[in-house]
Amino acid sequence: MLSIALGVRQAKLDAEMRAFFQDARPWAFILFREACVSRVQVQALCNELREAAGHDAIVWIDQEGGRVARLKAPEWPTWPAAAKYGEAFARDNVTGIEATYLGHRLIAHELKSIGVDGDYAPVLDVPVEGSDKIVGDRAFSAEPKLVATLARAALEGLHDGGVAGCIKHMPGHGRATADSHLALPRVSVSEAELINDIYPFTRLADAEAAMTAHIIYEAWDPDRPATCSPKVIDEIIRATIGFEGLLMSDDLDMHALQFAMNGGLQQRAETALKAGCDVVLQCSGKLADMQEAAKGCANLTGPSMVRARAVESFAKRPAREFDADAGWARFNLLMNSQTS
């Protein structure tokens, strides 16, 4: 299996895409909005992707809730942004934790029912005043301890639904003053200040998967974004944070990496993997881009394969028994509660 997860932006595979997947055997796939038309269609697409890859690949999606949701109404329910769970916690701590767990348990129930078994959530970033709005209400709170508490509840909700989670964006996107989709952010604060940012990640260092940030942290490596920095990955993510799970890059297509290096997708993939990422993400949905990025990847082996198998153990296990109708009724009650 190739050390790459490939974005899919079509409702059904064409012959060329199918042939490429059969040859490349990517470790995983990622569904985007264009690939999600109906429940029946998504389930058929997931089956088609796994058949083409020749193995029971994880199919991931970005379904955080709020503005980051690939599954949209009216075909699918609408889930709140993470900040709404923080507001629920502020009204009542116990209610807020239960609502966070249940909201993500309901997401997992919906995903599992259509063949999707990985969610790029929860977000552990801690936004600060003056930072770019790309994180904003995707964060549970501006308080690191609360972010960690609610992220743990979210991850447990996904797990109980038989869905793997992925904490992001390690080691923290909350201070970035630019959107890494469009620019290469630089964070210039001291190492002591960055301790605040990594705190939630240290609390969830046992998570099965994490996604890197395309950000330069000058206190750690003034020349390379975290995704491409052996120093940040080895010394901060693996050692200081203590993360031992599968480390995935953010999307190789994002402008941050284009500004960080002169080469194309092949070089970006090679650089990220050499720096210590286990798997890279390529999300354009374009066959030529997939083919170029794949040239920079090798088959999963050694510790990376062990970590990938551990993620699969979360994604492929059956969901616990769950009454979704009762779950929605309870969830709506919790989120609408004004208990102080």
- Kindly report the average pLDDT of the chain as a whole number: 95
pLDDT, tens only, 240-283 = 999 999 999 999 998 768 767 778 999 999 999 999 999 999 99
Residue (of 172, 261, 271) closest to 228 by Cα position:
271
**Catalytically active residues, by annotation:** 181, 250
Res 340 pLDDT > 60: no
The whole model's pTM is what? 0.95
Location of structure tokens 């088959």 = 299
Residue 319: other Cβ atoms inside 10 A: 17
pLDDT at 260: 72
Location of structure tokens 């944070």 = 241
CATH topology (fold) of 82-98+115-259+303-335: TIM Barrel (3.20.20)
Q: What percent of the chain has pLDDT over 70?
A: 99
pLDDT, tens only, 191-241 = 999 999 999 999 999 999 999 999 999 999 999 999 999 999 999 999 999
Q: How sure is the predictor about 55, in pLDDT bands with cuts at 50, 70 and 90?
A: very high
Res 97 pLDDT > 50: yes
Average pLDDT over residues 104-120: 98
pLDDT, tens only, 272-316 = 999 999 999 999 999 999 999 999 999 999 999 999 999 999 999
pLDDT, tens only, 116-147 = 999 999 999 999 988 778 888 999 999 999 99
| 286 close to 294: Cβ distance less than 8 angstroms | no
> Where in the chain do CATH 3.20.20.300 domains reside?
82-98+115-259+303-335
